[in-house]
Structure 1
Amino acid sequence: MEAPTHIPITLGEQLLLLSLDDESGTAREPAKAAPAIAAASLVELALAGRIDVTDDKVTVVDATPLGEPALDAALEAVAGRNPPGSAKDWINRLKTDAVARAHTGLIGKGLVREEKKKVLGLFPVRRYPEADGSVEAAVRQRLDAVVLAGAAPDERTASLVALLHGAKLHRLAFPDADARRVEAAMESVSRGRWSATAVRHVVKAAEDALTAIIAVTVTTTVVTNG
């Protein structure tokens, strides 16, 4: 199901690729993308058999490092917390570091480049325009096949769909498709039985936590701007 590529890429990096404007390198919907990238770390750890969710608490079942710096940092953080925290707690705790590591990963893999500029000659900003679009194109192809064409998803694609759905990032993945059709299809995929029960528990906990976090973010933004 997964399109061939010679560059291994985490779910968090896939989410970041989808959220970056290809030409300008600016982040789109960062308030939603950041927690989604953090949630992706938890989902990756579940897929690798490292964590589970028990009574709404994230617990480590195997602390063996994976060899992926971003995921190993998240695993070490979760393993070092006593008492355990909820998925929502961890998404909020991990999001800043998770986004930074996703940027580092994409730069290191040659998929984006970093540009440093100053706005008004004073305020430093960083942009991450596309350097190699082949991996993002493969990600979008997989998403289109599953969500728009109804193909059976593999674990990672279904997990990515669930994360996008929970964070309300439908438009980043499917900017030109009918919004209601896309949302219904993503809901169906995220609720499917495409993985082991333990993995689905973590994905569901992460998706629910994202929905709650995004709801608060949207409400706060409306109140602030209103």
Structure 2
Amino acid sequence: MAPITLPEELLVLAYDDESGRAVGSRIALDLGMAAAILVELALVGRLTMSADMLVVKDNAPVGDPILDAVLAKIDSDTPHAAASWLQRLRHGLRDKVLADLVERGVIRDVDETAMGGVIHLHRYPSADRSHEAGIRARLADALTGQTVPDERTAALATLLAATRMEPALHLDSEAMEQAHKRLEEIAAGAGYGGGVSMEESTIRPSISLVIAALGRAISQALGARA
């Protein structure tokens, strides 16, 4: 089973297995997708922060068409802050990642376009749940505090909290409240939420800086939590 990228992990969680519909705010999910792409590039050593700007550290292709296109776009442009890149990248990105997941057999594309093509509707139910099972197992271990999350899991947990995607965890209201608190604890422990210094972070400082900036940008874009 070939691994999937962080934005793909986020989408696998966001889309209901049976109905194939996205859970939560579409704007939040699109911002999360853009952030996840940037985090993935940071995790593989391609992006870093410099003077509050996202900059390319290494422009060598990763080998993933979507990641490489974003990397090339950032490399060819002048430096911009994390909030700017979220807005520049979020439009149309989700469709590209969904198409990639369909091609890889992770989800199915159920086309329910109606009225002669006037109303475009696609659902994306699960086709291969092995990926999602692995993701949810990692998150479950992190949420129960049984293990210290690795960088990728801590990053995913931080993005779930920032984009307010706790409903995708399929928990009751009381458990969801506890999960939100634990997600924020993971973010803080990783240095993503400002709870600890970079020196105390469980994650590489260079990664923490990128995700902290993206998390703040998402929160500002979405406004106060209800």
Q: TM-score range by the shorter chain?
A: 0.7 to 0.9
Counterpart-to-counterpart distance in 1, 2:29 and 2:9: 11
User: Identity rate of aligned residues, in percent?
Assistant: 33
The CA deviation at 1:174 is 4.6
Matched residues, number: 212
Q: Which amino acid aligns with 1:87?
A: A
Assess if the C-alpha contact under 8 Å between 1:12 and 1:40 holds in 2.
Answer: yes
**Gaps in structure 2 of 5+ consecutive residues:** 190-200
Q: 1:34 to 1:147 in 2, by over 3 A?
A: same
| AA of the residue aligned to 2:29 | A
**What is the alpha-carbon distance in structure 1 between the residues aligned to residue 57 and residue 97 of structure 2?**
24
Which residues of 2 match residues 36-51 of structure 1 at below 5 A?
36-51=32-47
Of 182, 206, 209, 1:198 maps to 206
Contact 2:47 2:58 in 1 (8 A): yes
Instruction: Report the more deviating stretch, 118-127 or 71-80.
Output: 118-127
Question: What is the RMSD computed on CA atoms of the aligned residues?
Answer: 1.8
From 90, 94, 98, the equivalent of 1:95 is 90
Q: Which residue of 1 aligns with 2:194?
A: none
Amino acid at match of 1:102: V
**Counterpart-to-counterpart distance in 2, 1:79 and 1:98:** 18
> Which amino acid in 1 is paired with 2:186?
V
Contact 2:34 2:93 in 1 (8 A): yes
* Contact kept? 1:18, 1:136, Cα under 8 Å: yes
1:43–1:203 CA contact under 8 A, matched in 2: yes
Which residue identity is paired with 1:85? H
User: What pairs with 1:1-226 in structure 2 (closer than 5 Å)?
Assistant: 6-29=1-24, 30-82=26-78, 84-119=79-114, 122-176=118-172, 178-192=175-189, 193-215=201-223
AA at the equivalent of 1:51: L
Deviation (angstroms), 1:148: 2.5
For residues 19-46 of structure 1, what are the alpha-carbon distances to aligned partners after superposition, in whole Å with 9 as ceiling and x for unaligned? Answer: 1121121222222111101100111111
Q: How far apart are the structure 1 equivalents of 2:166 and 2:86? A: 20
Following the alignment from structure 1 to structure 2, what is the Cα–Cα distance between the partners of residues 32 and 182? Answer: 18
Against the structure 1 CA distance between its residues 150 and 131, is the aligned structure 2 distance closer, same or farther, given a 3 Å change threshold? same
| Displacement of 1:209 | 0.9
Distance in 1 (CA, whole Å) between partners of 2:133 and 2:107 is 13
Separation of aligned partners in 1, 2:144 and 2:66: 31
Is 1:7–1:135's contact at 8 Å kept on the other side of the alignment?
A: no
Gaps of 5+ in 1: 1-5, 220-226
TM-score by length of 2: 0.87
